[in-house]
C-alpha cells in the first residue's frame, strides 16, 4: 500500500484523490488514463501524518492504475460538490490485490 515517501506512514488513496479534487479538470482526467497518471505524478500532495509535501510520482504506479480503474468502475464514487471520495479506495485496492493473488495461486495448481 502507498506510503509517504518522507515519513513512511501508510497513506489512504481516498485522501490522496480528495487532494486532487482541487483540480478544475479532475472529472475530465478520469476519462483518460494517461492524462490522469501524468496529473497525479506531477501533483504535490501533503502527507496527513507529517505535513510534508511530495510529488505523486514517488508513489506506486501499479496501485495508481488500479485506483483509476476503481474510480471508473464505481461511477458516483466521488462527491464533487463536497470534494469527497465516497469509496474506500484503500480497502477496495487491497481486496482487488488479494483476489488477483488468489487467482494466480489457483491458476498455478
The CATH number for 25's domain is 3.10.20.830
pLDDT of 57 above 90:
yes
Task: Report if residue 97 sits inside a domain.
Answer: yes
CB 89, CB 17: distance < 8 Å: yes
Mean pLDDT of 79-87: 91
Name the more confident of 17 and 75: 17
pLDDT above 90 as % of the chain: 71
Task: Report if residue 8 sits inside a domain.
Answer: no
Task: Say how many domains are in the chain.
Answer: 1
Task: Report if residue 1 sits inside a domain.
Answer: no
Task: Report if residue 2 sits inside a domain.
Answer: no
Task: Report if residue 4 sits inside a domain.
Answer: no
pLDDT of 105 above 90:
no
Q: Dihedral sign, CA of 71, 72, 77, 78?
A: positive
Cβ atoms < 10 Å from Cβ of 65: 13
Give me the pLDDT at residue 95, please: 87
Domain holding 88, by residue range, is 13-107
Amino acid at each position: 500500500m502507498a506510503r509517504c515517501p518522507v515519513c513512511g506512514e501508510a497513506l489512504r488513496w481516498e485522501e490522496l484523490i480528495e487532494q486532487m479534487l482541487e483540480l478544475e479538470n479532475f472529472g475530465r482526467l478520469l476519462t483518460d488514463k494517461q492524462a490522469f497518471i501524468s496529473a497525479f505524478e506531477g501533483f504535490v500532495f501533503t502527507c496527513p501524518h507529517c505535513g510534508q509535501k511530495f510529488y505523486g510520482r514517488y508513489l506506486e504506479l501499479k496501485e495508481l492504475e488500479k485506483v483509476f480503474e476503481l474510480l471508473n468502475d464505481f461511477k458516483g464514487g466521488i462527491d464533487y460538490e463536497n470534494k469527497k471520495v465516497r469509496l474506500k479506495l484503500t480497502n477496495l485496492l487491497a481486496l482487488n490485490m488479494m483476489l488477483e493473488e488468489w487467482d494466480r495461486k489457483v491458476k498455478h495448481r
